[in-house]
RNA sequence: GGCUGGGUAGCUCAGUUGGUUAGAGCGAAGGUCUCAUAAUCCUUAGGUCGGCGGUUCGAAUCCGCCUCCAGCCA
């Protein structure tokens, strides 16, 4: 019976397979899909397929996060409603996953009525029992981040010349009593160390929840806003909308499927781990706790059972040394990634990324990997094996009757391949699983060369040895098609059919695997599995695709302007002494990401001034420029260097700073008024 | 600044509880076979295992200091 090893018998002897609920984060609907989204979702798809082949009852959820101020603003700038905007762009993601053939079971949107109903119901519940309360929140708010910032962050931003993005705000807000769940959270991490993977991420989470230092413990979490209108209204107090995390995280609950709770694996980028490993379980604890549960006492098993089994935090694909960023335009679009086929992209992403770590992406590495492992490796091995079967045995796989030392070694490797692969995959380690499987494939190429089937075929006396070699190659390819099926569904299906096998690989179960099962029929004609890529040609093609896409970012972006500050009288303004300056020297400040140190001539004196403009200007381009300087700004030290004065720049919240430039004939020292 | 994890062949990385000549893949060079996708296979590359000091019969592997990098610090 196919499901015998993975199912369990319930009540009346009905076989129920084990549920497997896997999620990706919901993607911010306004973003354009790139390699990061693709990686996460492909990983989830491979896990989903893998667990289906383990015989489990899989539910694979992904979706979009559709609320927030940015949506509101973008929609306003285009003169449409936020709902129209999200309806327009949400398919960007959904269609990509469909185009890639991902086996998503449900695509959740936070603007769905059922999601909103869940959020409101839970909000009301938690409010009633005191896990949510109303209070006043006061602090510095970063407009571009749409978040309050800490004092430390505020200082950093000021030092980087981003003070204009900060606004002092005081507003009424609903708070989630996160502080109450510290004890239970710590117990969760202790009891279930696999709750966060990889393990070094768990340490970060623990340290955050219980730093043991002077910072004190968890603080309550603001979960509503009055400054935003595009969101889920707080029931009964509709000038508030539910703020991002209480809205977004609950998608996993609102879109969950009957019988599949709790999630088995939740994939997240390392940047949002904290929200998933701290806030999310705390929300669930609040939702699932009952009267009489002691928050100071032991975490009840009943609660534990409602927690996601694993939050799997993966690293980022980097472009060269730096993080991909939309503003730098150095992102890898799906179209480029899928240029060599969906399965090639899937294989590369899962084979090359060490789960949890960052990885630099280059098209060279991408092509090298495909050529080495898919063309020269698996593709060529399949081609030569099938070709020999046809040439020497008319496609028929003869059952081996004898094994010499080399044959026995391969037979043993063949026996170990599946358990090793499955064990690694069960730890979500496709990188390791594929690495091990491909090491075996390499061994087979050596096995062929040593056995020299082309010589064996010339003498009938060696017929049995030849049969053994050919049969083992056949078995290895059949096994590979099965094991790697979840990673490369199409290629493995093609290989499966080349081996003369029928049915769909995806419909098979690992449990049914019999490595040495006889071949049901002769092999088919070998079709090239994966054509070798000519690097130079391919790089040109990629360049062309990128160039095609390049004009897109140049399309006018909506401005992200901060609100106008309150009025001041003339005398207040007149206190500011603005002068024309001439930049004489400029150099980068070591270790600083933003600062440039400049020597500026103000006519009456020369000064050292630091500016947070490294992202926008190279030092060499600054020398000789005329700038406007706040001449009477009190000196202050940054990065150990005293800066006397400030350069005026123009920008909105999203753009880089543009230096204000006086005309060429303005003399250093001229007063700006 | 605090905490954590790292710095191993050109590149990406393995290196179990310290022990004979420090490994793999890719890339590069030379050679070989011919079943195969100009593929495969074999050999080679002479890497102060970040630096200094210590423990030890013996350390990439333990300890200390230094240095550089990354991550987390709501």
C-alpha count within 13 angstroms, C-beta hemisphere, residue A633: 19
Alpha carbon distance A131, A473 (integer Å): 62
- DSSP annotation of A371: I
Asked if pLDDT for residue A625 goes beyond 70, the answer is yes
Nucleotide nearest to A443 (CA to C1'): B41
Nucleotide nearest to A204 (CA to C1'): B72
pLDDT band at A641 (very low <50, low <70, confident <90, very high): confident
Residue A6 pLDDT:
43
Nucleotide nearest to A219 (CA to C1'): B74
Chain B positions with an atom below 7 A of a protein C-beta are 2-5, 11-14, 24-27, 33-42, 69-74
Token look-up 């939309």 returns A326
**A326-350 residues labelled b (16+ CB within 10 A) or e (exposed):** eeeeebbbbebbbbbbbbbbbbbbb
More confident residue, A442 or A638: A442
Alpha carbon distance A269, A26 (integer Å): 11
Distance A386 CA to B10 C1' (A): 37
Percent of chain A with pLDDT over 90: 58
Asked if pLDDT for residue A610 goes beyond 90, the answer is no
Alpha carbon distance A157, A612 (integer Å): 10
**Average pLDDT of the residues of chain A:** 87
Q: Is the dihedral of CA A444, A449, A450, A455 positive or negative?
A: positive
Distance A400 CA to B38 C1' (A): 34
Residue A626 phi/psi, 5-degree rounding, is -95, 140
Q: What is the mean pLDDT of residues A609-615?
A: 81
Distance A357 CA to B49 C1' (A): 22
Alpha carbon distance A616, A596 (integer Å): 10
Distance A443 CA to B5 C1' (A): 34
Neighbours of A413 (CB within 10 A): 17
Alpha carbon distance A323, A95 (integer Å): 26
pLDDT in tens, A15-60: 678 999 999 999 999 888 989 999 999 999 999 999 999 999 999 9
pLDDT in tens, A380-393: 999 999 999 999 99
Distance A326 CA to B5 C1' (A): 29
Collect all residues with Cβ–Cβ distance below 8 Å to A53 and sequence separation of at least 6.
A482, A485, A486, A506, A508, A509, A510
Residue A251 pLDDT:
97
More confident residue, A2 or A311: A311
Q: Closest residue to B38 by CA to C1' distance?
A: A532
Q: Among A75-79, A215-219, A424-428, which is the least confidently predicted range? A: A215-219
Q: Is the ipTM of this complex over 0.90?
A: yes
Q: What is the mean pLDDT of residues A560-582?
A: 80
Distance A152 CA to B52 C1' (A): 36
* Residue A661: burial class (beta carbons within 10 Å; 0-12, 13-18, 19+): middle
DSSP A9-49: EETTTEEEEPEEEEEEEEEETTSPP-HHHHHHHHHHHHHHH
Alpha carbon distance A443, A410 (integer Å): 8
Asked if pLDDT for residue A5 goes beyond 50, the answer is no
Alpha carbon distance A254, A250 (integer Å): 6
Distance A198 CA to B18 C1' (A): 27
Alpha carbon distance A396, A399 (integer Å): 10
Residue A638 pLDDT:
76
Query: 3-class SS at A658?
Result: strand
* Residue A275: burial class (beta carbons within 10 Å; 0-12, 13-18, 19+): middle
More confident residue, A635 or A113: A113
Q: Closest residue to B73 by CA to C1' distance?
A: A208
For the whole model, what pTM was predicted? 0.81
Residue A460 pLDDT:
92
Nucleotide nearest to A218 (CA to C1'): B74
Residue A75 pLDDT:
94
Distance A440 CA to B20 C1' (A): 28
Q: Among A5-19, A328-342, A486-500, which is the least confidently predicted range? A: A5-19
From the list A396, A536, A382, A414, the residue with the least C-alpha distance to A466 is A396
Cis-peptide into A270, omega within 30 deg? no
Beta bridge partners of A582: A601, A626
Q: Are strands A636-638 and A641-643 parallel, antiparallel or unpaired?
A: antiparallel
Helix (H) or strand (E) holding A348: helix A342-352
More confident residue, A524 or A662: A524
Residue pair A39/A314 in contact (Cβ under 8 Å)? The answer is yes
pLDDT band at A554 (very low <50, low <70, confident <90, very high): very low
Nucleotide nearest to A178 (CA to C1'): B74
Nucleotide nearest to A529 (CA to C1'): B37
**Strands, DSSP E only, in A66-207?**
106-109, 132-142, 147-149, 166-176, 196-197
Residue pair A136/A171 in contact (Cβ under 8 Å)? The answer is yes
Collect all residues with Cβ–Cβ distance below 8 Å to A460 and sequence separation of at least 6.
none
pLDDT band at A318 (very low <50, low <70, confident <90, very high): confident
Collect all residues with Cβ–Cβ distance below 8 Å to A224 and sequence separation of at least 6.
A173, A174, A234, A240, A241, A242, A243, A246
pLDDT in tens, A424-464: 998 898 998 999 999 999 999 999 999 999 999 999 999 99
Residue A358 pLDDT:
85
Alpha carbon distance A217, A178 (integer Å): 10
Nucleotide nearest to A179 (CA to C1'): B74
pLDDT band at A4 (very low <50, low <70, confident <90, very high): very low
Distance A189 CA to B7 C1' (A): 30
Distance A357 CA to B62 C1' (A): 27
Alpha carbon distance A571, A563 (integer Å): 22
pLDDT band at A3 (very low <50, low <70, confident <90, very high): very low
Helix (H) or strand (E) holding A319: strand A317-319
Q: Closest residue to B13 by CA to C1' distance?
A: A354
Of the segments A529-538, A611-620, A658-667, which one has the largest average pLDDT value?
A: A529-538
pLDDT band at A214 (very low <50, low <70, confident <90, very high): very low
pLDDT band at A143 (very low <50, low <70, confident <90, very high): low
Alpha carbon distance A142, A559 (integer Å): 16
Alpha carbon distance A649, A11 (integer Å): 71
Q: What is the mean pLDDT of residues A321-326?
A: 58
pLDDT in tens, A173-210: 999 999 999 999 999 998 988 899 888 888 889 888 87
Cis-peptide into A275, omega within 30 deg? no
Token look-up 């140190």 returns A597
Distance A365 CA to B26 C1' (A): 9
Asked if pLDDT for residue A337 goes beyond 70, the answer is yes
pLDDT band at A514 (very low <50, low <70, confident <90, very high): very high
Q: Closest residue to B3 by CA to C1' distance?
A: A207
DSSP A514-582: -TTPPPSS---PPPPSSPPPPHHHHHHHHHHHHHHHTHHHHSPPPP-PPPPPPP--HHHHHT--EEEEE
Nucleotide nearest to A445 (CA to C1'): B40
- DSSP annotation of A271: G
Residue pair A456/A468 in contact (Cβ under 8 Å)? The answer is no
Q: What is the mean pLDDT of residues A371-376?
A: 95
Q: Among A264-273, A301-310, A325-334, which is the least confidently predicted range? A: A325-334
Q: Closest residue to B26 by CA to C1' distance?
A: A368
Alpha carbon distance A597, A590 (integer Å): 10
Query: 3-class SS at A435?
Result: helix
Asked if pLDDT for residue A564 goes beyond 80, the answer is no
Nucleotide nearest to A384 (CA to C1'): B36
Alpha carbon distance A189, A181 (integer Å): 12
Distance of CA A188 to the CA centre of its chain: 24
DSSP A192-259: -GGGEESHHHHHHHHHHH---STT-S---EE-EESS--SSPBPTT-TT-EE-HHHHHTTHHHHT--TT
Asked if pLDDT for residue A157 goes beyond 70, the answer is no
Residue A18 pLDDT:
94
């Amino acid at each position: 019976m196919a499901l015998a090893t993975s199912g369990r018998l319930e009540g009346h002897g009905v076989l129920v397979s084990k549920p497997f609920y896997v999620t990706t984060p919901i993607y911010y609907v306004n973003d354009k899909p790139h390699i990061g989204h693709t990686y996460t979702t492909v990983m989830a798809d491979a896990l989903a397929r893998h667990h289906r082949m383990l015989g489990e009852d899989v539910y694979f959820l992904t979706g979009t996060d559709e609320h927030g101020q940015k949506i509101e603003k973008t929609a306003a700038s285009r003169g449409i409603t936020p709902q129209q905007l999200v309806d327009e762009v949400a398919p960007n993601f959904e269609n990509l996953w469909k185009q890639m053939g991902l086996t998503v079971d449900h695509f959740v949107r936070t603007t769905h009525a059922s999601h909103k109903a869940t959020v409101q119901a839970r909000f009301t519940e938690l409010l009633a029992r005191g896990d949510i309360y109303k209070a006043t929140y006061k602090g510095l708010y970063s407009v571009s981040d749409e978040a309050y910032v800490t004092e430390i962050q505020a200082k950093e931003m000021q030092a980087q010349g981003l003070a204009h993005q900060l606004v002092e705000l005081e507003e009424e807000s609903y708070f989630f009593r996160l502080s109450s769940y510290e004890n239970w959270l710590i117990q969760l991490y202790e009891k279930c160390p696999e709750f966060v993977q990889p393990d070094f991420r768990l340490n970060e989470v623990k340290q955050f929840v219980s730093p043991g230092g002077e910072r004190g413990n968890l603080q309550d979490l603001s979960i509503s806003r009055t400054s935003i209108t595009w969101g889920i209204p707080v029931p009964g107090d509709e000038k508030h909308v539910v703020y991002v995390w209480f809205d977004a995280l609950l998608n996993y609950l609102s879109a969950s499927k009957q019988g599949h709770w709790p999630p088995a694996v939740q994939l997240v980028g390392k940047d949002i781990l904290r929200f998933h490993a701290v806030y999310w379980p705390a929300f669930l604890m609040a939702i699932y706790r009952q009267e009489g549960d002691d928050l100071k006492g032991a975490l009840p098993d009943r609660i534990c059972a409602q927690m996601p089994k694993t939050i799997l935090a993966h690293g980022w694909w980097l472009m060269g040394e730096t993080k991909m960023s939309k503003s730098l335009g150095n992102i890898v679009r799906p179209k480029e990634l899928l240029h060599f086929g969906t399965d090639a992209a899937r294989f590369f992403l899962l084979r090359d990324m060490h789960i949890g770590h960052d990885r630099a992406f280059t098209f060279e590495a991408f092509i090298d990997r495909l050529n080495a492992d898919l063309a020269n490796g698996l593709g060529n091995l399949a081609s030569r094996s099938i070709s020999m079967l046809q040439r020497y045995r008319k496609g028929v796989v003869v059952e081996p009757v004898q094994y010499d030392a080399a044959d026995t070694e391969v037979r043993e490797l063949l026996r170990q391949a599946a358990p090793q692969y499955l064990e690694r995959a069960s730890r979500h380690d496709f990188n390791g699983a594929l690495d091990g499987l491909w090491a075996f494939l390499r061994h087979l190429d050596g096995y062929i060369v040593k056995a020299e089937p082309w010589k064996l075929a010339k003498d009938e006396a060696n017929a049995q040895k030849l049969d053994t070699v050919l049969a083992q190659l056949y078995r290895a390819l059949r096994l590979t098609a099965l094991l790697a099926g979840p990673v490369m569904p199409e290629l493995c299906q093609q290989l499966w059919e080349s081996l003369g096998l029928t049915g769909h690989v995806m419909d098979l179960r690992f449990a049914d695997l019999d490595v040495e099962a006889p071949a049901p029929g002769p092999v088919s004609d070998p079709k090239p599995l994966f054509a070798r890529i000519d690097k130079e040609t391919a790089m040109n093609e990629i360049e062309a695709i990128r160039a095609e896409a390049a004009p897109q970012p140049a399309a006018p972006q909506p401005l992200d302007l901060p609100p106008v500050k309150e009025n001041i009288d003339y005398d207040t303004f007149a206190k500011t002494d603005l002068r024309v300056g001439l930049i004489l020297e400029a150099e980068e400040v070591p270790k600083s990401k933003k600062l440039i140190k400049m020597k500026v001539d103000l006519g009456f004196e020369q000064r050292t001034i630091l500016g947070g403009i490294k992202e926008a200007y190279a030092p060499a381009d600054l020398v000789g420029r005329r700038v406007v300087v706040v001449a009477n700004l009190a000196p202050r030290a940054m990065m150990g260097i005293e800066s006397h004065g400030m350069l005026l720049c123009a920008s909105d919240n999203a753009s880089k700073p543009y230096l204000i430039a006086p005309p060429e004939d303005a003399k250093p020292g001229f007063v700006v008024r």
